[in-house]
C-alpha cells in the first residue's frame, strides 16, 4: 500500500439536488436522496494542513464541480438551474473532506482529463 500525496473530497447531493433532478421534464424516474447519495463522486484535492484549506479549495473549483454533477445527469445546460452560485452549490451538496489517501493497488494510475 502507498500513501498518495493528495486529500479526498466526497461530493454528496442534498435534497435540493434531488428535487431539481426529479423536476426536470425529461426525467421519467423518481430518484430518492438515499439512492443519489449511495454512489457519490470522489475527487482528489491537494494535501492540506487544516480541513478549512480543503473547503477553500472546493470553493475555488465549485463551478467545475457543479457543472460536472449536473452534466452527469443532463448534458444540455438549458435544463440546468439558472442559479449556480457558490451559495447554491453548498445548498445542493454536502462535501466530506478526508486528509489521508492510500492506494492499495500496486499499479500505475492512469489520468485522462474530463471533457
Q: CA 50, CA 58: separation in Å to the nearest integer?
A: 14
Residue 38 lies in a domain: yes
Total domains in the chain come to 1
Residue by residue, DSSP assigns 85-108 as -HHHHHHHEEEEEE---EE---S-
CA nearest neighbour of 62 among 98, 91, 89: 89
110, pLDDT greater than 80:
no
Residue 48 lies in a domain: yes
Residue 10 lies in a domain: yes
35-79: pLDDT as tens digits? 999 999 999 999 998 889 999 999 999 999 999 999 999 889 999
Residue 114 lies in a domain: no
Residue 115 lies in a domain: no
Taking a C-beta distance cutoff of 8 angstroms, is the pair 93, 14 a contact? Answer: yes
At 23 the three-state DSSP class reads helix
Q: Which residue did the predictor score with more confidence, 31 or 26? A: 31
Q: What is the pLDDT of residue 115?
A: 64
For the chain, what is the radius of gyration of the CA atoms? 16
In this prediction, what percent of the chain has a pLDDT beyond 90? Answer: 66
Tell me 82's DSSP state: S
At 70 the three-state DSSP class reads helix
Give the range of the structural domain holding residue 51, as residue numbers without chain letter: 2-103
Residue 110 lies in a domain: no
Q: Which residue did the predictor score with more confidence, 113 or 63? A: 63
Residue 18 lies in a domain: yes
- pTM (2 decimals)? 0.87
Residue 87 lies in a domain: yes
Amino acid at each position: 500500500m502507498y500513501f498518495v500525496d493528495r486529500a479526498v473530497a466526497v461530493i454528496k447531493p442534498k435534497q435540493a439536488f434531488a428535487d431539481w433532478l426529479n423536476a426536470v421534464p425529461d426525467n421519467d424516474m423518481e430518484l430518492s436522496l438515499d439512492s443519489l447519495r449511495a454512489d457519490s463522486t470522489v475527487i482528489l484535492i491537494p494535501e492540506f494542513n487544516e480541513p478549512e484549506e480543503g473547503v477553500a479549495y472546493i470553493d475555488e473549483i465549485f463551478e467545475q464541480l457543479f457543472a460536472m454533477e449536473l452534466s452527469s445527469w443532463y448534458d444540455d445546460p438549458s435544463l440546468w438551474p439558472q442559479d449556480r452560485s457558490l451559495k447554491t452549490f453548498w445548498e445542493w451538496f454536502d462535501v466530506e473532506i478526508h486528509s489521508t489517501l492510500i492506494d492499495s493497488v500496486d499499479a500505475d494510475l492512469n489520468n485522462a482529463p474530463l471533457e
